[in-house]
Amino acid sequence: MTFRNFESWREEKQSAYLYRILAEKERGTPREKLYLSLAEMAEKQALEWTHAAGLKPSDLPAYHPPLKVKAVQRLIGVFGPHHLKTVLAALKIRGLSVYSAQLAPEIQAHAMPSDVSELGGRHRLKGSAGNIRAAIFGVNDGLVSTASLMLGASGAASGDPRIVLISGGAGLLAGAMSMAAGEYVSVRSQRELLEYQLALERAELKQYPEEEAAELALIYAARGIPEDQAREIAARLIANPERALETLAREELGLDPTDLGSPWAAALSSFGAFSIGGLVPLLPFVFSPAGFAMTASIGATAIALFATGAVVSLFSGRGVVLSGLRMLLIGGGAGALAYLLGTWVA
């Protein structure tokens, strides 16, 4: 058996093992049937790789899950599969879109998208809102952390504006760089995962189109679509090669293939958002008289905290005033604690 054949056999056996774990976790739900069926299909794929190598199943060792798979098994038991979709997708587990929002019972038979453009619209809308929310929290992070650092330095240095300005500037730069580095690594890792999974799906779609259609039909059935209609929808989607890959990525892996963002763009965006927030408490020390700088900084920070809280209310559904005051209290509490700590250290 070649290395490629053995690796493919091992991956299918690993998938079958995890599908059975998921089926046990989802006992008594439609997802149990889905994962048991996927486990059976994975075992058949493993058998095909065995035959392709000119071997019999008895010629190969029994599958023993490695430490990583056992760790994932334990995590499934503790947190549930819906919190581990990215981890499971990396292990070639399909059917993860069943953990997306369920369709209303009265429209389940009709509302399932049969065109990937419908799916893409929903995902892109959600992604846009996520980007805006991330930018807001990036600004808020820079605002609170820089202001708190400056207040702590003020308490420790008896309000020396030069020390406060240097501390705030250094904190802003360090925080922005840290945020940018973290965002770069995060997006880069996500991109690599998506590219790897898309390559696998592309190869499987080309080699096993009927099996891919069957898997997709099982997923739709687990989400409440009648089996006959699920098979019809899956066959129609798989028949269009250009859109089939995107559909499979969304429905089997729960991944968005249009979300291959640029790591550098994400890093620069994170750096910029943090810096914008950090400049709010810092600029009064540059443009205000020394004796008034701290008062101006605290005032500007308070206004910015309330404003970011008000904007967050667009996503939380809470009232504008309540959300703004809550953010002001949280940021103010962090700043007061930092100031008291600085005073105590001094």
Instruction: Quick: pLDDT tens for 58-102.
Output: 888 888 999 999 999 999 999 888 888 878 877 878 877 777 654
- Residue 184 in contact with residue 267, Cβ under 8 Å? yes
CA distances from 147 to 230, 330, 340 (A): 55, 12, 14
CB-neighbour burial class of residue 344 (10 A; exposed 0-12, middle 13-18, buried 19+): exposed
Predicted confidence at residue 257, as pLDDT, reads 66
Nearest residue to 22 via CA among 123, 71, 113, 95: 95
**308-342: string of b/e by CB count within 10 Å (b at 16+)?**
bbbbbbeeeeeeeeebbebbbeebbebbeebbeeb
Percent pLDDT > 90 in the chain is 30
Return the amino acid letter for 173: L
Any idea what the Cα angle at residue 174 is, between residues 168 and 176, rounded to 5°? 100
CA distances from 22 to 13, 31, 45, 169 (A): 14, 8, 19, 50
pLDDT top residue among 114 and 265: 265
pLDDT top residue among 274 and 206: 274
Task: Write out pLDDT tens, residues 21-41.
Answer: 999 999 988 888 889 988 998
Find the helix or strand (DSSP H, E) in which 98 lies: none
Return the amino acid letter for 238: I
Average pLDDT over residues 215-238: 82
- Residue 152 in contact with residue 168, Cβ under 8 Å? no
Percent pLDDT > 70 in the chain is 85
Q: How confident is the model at residue 157 (pLDDT cuts 50, 70, 90)?
A: confident
Predicted confidence at residue 110, as pLDDT, reads 38
CB-neighbour burial class of residue 37 (10 A; exposed 0-12, middle 13-18, buried 19+): buried
pLDDT top residue among 132 and 140: 140
Contacts 24+ apart (CB under 8 A), 112-121: 112/220, 112/223, 112/225, 112/233, 114/233, 114/236, 114/237, 115/237, 115/243, 116/237, 116/243, 116/246, 116/247, 116/250, 117/243, 119/246, 119/247, 119/250, 120/246, 120/258
Predicted confidence at residue 119, as pLDDT, reads 38
Q: How far is Cα 58 from Cα 61, in angstroms, rounded to an integer?
A: 7
Task: Write out pLDDT tens, residues 196-205.
Answer: 777 777 777 7
Phi, psi (deg, nearest 5) at residue 326: -65, -45
Average pLDDT over residues 219-241: 81
Whether 206 shows a pLDDT value over 50: the answer reads: yes
Nearest residue to 333 via CA among 107, 89, 123, 144: 144
Average pLDDT, the chain: 81
Q: How confident is the model at residue 104 (pLDDT cuts 50, 70, 90)?
A: very low
Task: Write out pLDDT tens, residues 236-287.
Answer: 878 776 677 777 777 766 666 666 678 888 899 999 999 999 999 999 998 8
Predicted confidence at residue 252, as pLDDT, reads 67
Round the CA-based radius of gyration of the chain to a whole number and report it: 26
Predicted confidence at residue 205, as pLDDT, reads 76
Helices within 157-262 (DSSP H only): 161-207, 209-222, 227-238, 241-253
Any idea what the Cα angle at residue 331 is, between residues 327 and 337, rounded to 5°? 145
